Amino acid sequence: MLLFSGLAILVLVAGCGDPLPQKATLLPDSEGLPVAGGAVAGQNPPAEAPPAGEPAFQADKPASVVDPEAQAFLNDPVGWLKECLKRQADVQGYTCVFTRKERPKAHNHLHVSTMDVEYRDKPFAVRMRLVKGGSRMAKEVLYADGENKNQMVILPVGVLAWGGLAYRNPLDPEVMEGHRNPITKFGLRQTLERTVADWEKLQKNAPLQVRWLGLQATPELDGMHCLVVNREGAPDPDDPAIRSETIWIHPKTGQLVGNRLMDAKGAVVAEYWYNKLVNNPKISPDRYKISTLK
């Protein structure tokens, strides 16, 4: 097993070193569609027109005075996010293309990797196949709650494959190096739940500084229109280096499909994108068995 001592890190942590942006800003609507002007809590957000060819969701229906969805968020940001969580109650699993960008502490570059993901909610299971970035020393990673002694199972490639599958504790410090969360905490709902918990902690001490950035076409999600909201100002309760969080919400399902964390200088600390999302697909239970890792 010594042959695989750093393998879990290589597949999910080590990646191509993209230069760290000095300042991260929201990209303009690449299709020239109407974009909200960035309403701030306490101000009336501008009315928005629905993008051409798309249904008029409640979030982007024109309003004579105030967009009700924007006002709901500005009046109660945490409550609005909790309503988004409630709308996901019938999601039992999904597939997506997951892009992870993280800057480990004491590093000046973002580590980037893209993976095809198959996710099951109950019992929790996730399977990731490396598509781009990473070390290219592992092909797939599987974790299924209650299976394989709750170990993460790794399928190596190349000469490392001669040793067969590798097993690692997902919470091993070596595995967690450079990661903000373990594979056991992966998921769109779980990420939004952490955001809600953090915002609730901050709200107890002072009013949240939030912005409603409205319905925007998102280049990182192939131009998909998302509701974009932002919290800034106070340090994150779990990581004081984080001073700003922007999240992208799917306007129909309420799922968090994008998340960007920035420090006080406006540099990206982490980004997560869940592209090509398909909810409740037909996935054989065998996909979460190690017998299919080959």
Mean pLDDT across 158-166: 69
Question: What does each C-alpha distance from 153 to 124, 134, 225 come to in angstroms?
Answer: 15, 17, 36
Residue 73 has pLDDT above 50, yes or no: yes
DSSP 8-state symbol, 206: S
Q: How confident is the model at residue 164 (pLDDT cuts 50, 70, 90)?
A: confident
Burial class of residue 159, CB neighbours in 10 A (0-12, 13-18, 19+): exposed
Q: What percent of the chain has pLDDT over 90?
A: 60
**Could you identify the residue written with the tokens 């798309």?**
54
Query: Which pLDDT score, from 0 to 100, does residue 162 have?
Result: 65
For the segment 277-294, the average pLDDT, to the nearest whole number, is 94
Q: Whole-angstrom Cα distance, residue 237 to residue 232? A: 12
* For range 178-199, the mean pLDDT: 92
* Predicted structure pTM score: 0.77
Confidence of residue 205 (pLDDT cuts 50, 70, 90): confident
Count other Cβ atoms within 10 Å, centred on residue 146. Answer: 9
pLDDT digits (tens, 9 = 90+) for 127-148: 999 998 866 567 899 999 999 9
- How high is the pLDDT of residue 222? 96
- Extents of the domains making up the chain: 2-19+110-183, 39-89+188-279
Distant-in-sequence, close-in-space partners of 236: CB < 8 Å, separation ≥ 6: 198, 242, 243, 245, 261
Q: What angle do CA 209, 220, 131 make, to 5 degrees?
A: 130
- Min mean pLDDT across 34-48, 59-73, 143-157 is at 34-48
Residue 28: predicted pLDDT: 33
pLDDT of residue 173: 84
pLDDT the model gives residue 107: 66
